[in-house]
Amino acid sequence: MMTATGDRREVPPMRRLRLLMLTFLGALVTAPPAPAERVPTCTFDAGALPAQTMPHRPHGAAIPIDQIVVLMQENRSFDHYFGQLHYQGQRRAGAVPMDASNPDPTDASAPPIGIFHKTKYCESADLDHSWNGTHKEYDGGLMDGFTAQNVDSTDPNGSRTMGFYDSSDLPFYYALFSTFAMSDRYFCSVLSQTFPNRFFLLAGTSFGHIANDLPMSPTEFSQRTIFNLLDEADPPVSWKIYFSEVAFALEFAYVHNHLPGNVVPIEDFMIDAQNGTLPQVSFVDPIFIGQANVENDEHPPSNIQVGQNFTAGIINTLFASPQWPSSALFLTWDEHGGFYDHMPPPAACVPDDIP
């Protein structure tokens, strides 16, 4: 959610400095760690460097940040979670039009199905966020296929996808993003499920994978990741993965070879933060697998408030750390999870020419 700047809404000037830090992280975690021969043939015109547009702002090594913490939660779209966010002095941030809708798939002549405030914190079933399903929801940028793609026996017109939460449901998140910077140009890397999008977080590519059809087995992938780059930097950049149940990055052989020193239980995050010994880069993994009342990654059908509480614990622990004054935390969600969003994603290049 806090991953890239853009023009969905006017961003208050007070937040622009913090947005620079988000841009810095984007360069850090999304650039494909690939040799020259893997540079994609698809390219877009390069944008301006920070120093060219904001010479009075710090950039690069001049940014006073010594520690970066990355937390990626699961399966929530921007409009679904933050479409009702207010900016100071405004009634609404304007993320999602209040008349936003999708057609009723059961009756073409019926009124469209609009967005509505959800009252249940646990979904009864997962929504469609497969490769095929998400592309049908996207519908070439019309964003009008969500209801049709989410029809089932318990939801005959697919209306669940149009539900949203607000500050009464997510008080910590709304307080957090009313205080710190939020980047509302939020799009997943792949119009699909968790695995390919988490691959993008760690390696800048999904290696052509488009689904959660991969075994959770150590050393599955030998490709390079951000952790290779951190170790190869001069001087090396220290890093750890703090996992709640299983470290997703163990899919990569390079990370598996760094057990146990760099891949440690979530309790170590609390200890390291308290002692002021967090590494320069930290990745935090929630509980991905479990009962709905235990799973804290916010993936349906898990309780969103359980996930919010987990995130609050991580953030408040960092706030209390002696390292907080020189730290930046980046919170995002891996993909939309089948929930409606009115903003179509922009075109993007395949990072390694793998279709």
What confidence score (pLDDT) does residue 10 get?
Answer: 33
CA distance 256 to 259: 6
CA distance 341 to 165: 13
- Max Cα-Cα span within the chain: 65
Of 174, 188, 178, which is closest to residue 311 (Cα–Cα)? 174
CA distance 58 to 23: 12
CB atoms within 10 A of CB 149: 23
What confidence score (pLDDT) does residue 44 get?
Answer: 61
Q: What is the pLDDT of residues 23-48, one digit of tens each?
A: 334 334 334 444 444 556 676 666 66
- For tokens 């709905």, the residue is 292
What is the chain's length?
A: 355
Low-confidence ranges of the chain (pLDDT < 50): 1-37
Q: What is the pLDDT of residues 7-20, one digit of tens each?
A: 333 333 323 223 33
What confidence score (pLDDT) does residue 49 get?
Answer: 65
Q: DSSP labels for 26-58?
A: HHHHHS----GGG--S--------HHHH-TTS-
CB atoms within 10 A of CB 290: 13
What confidence score (pLDDT) does residue 11 get?
Answer: 32
Q: In what order do the strands lie in the sheet with 281-285?
A: 263-265, 239-243, 281-285, 67-73, 327-333
What confidence score (pLDDT) does residue 108 get?
Answer: 92
pTM of the model: 0.84
- For tokens 């395949």, the residue is 350
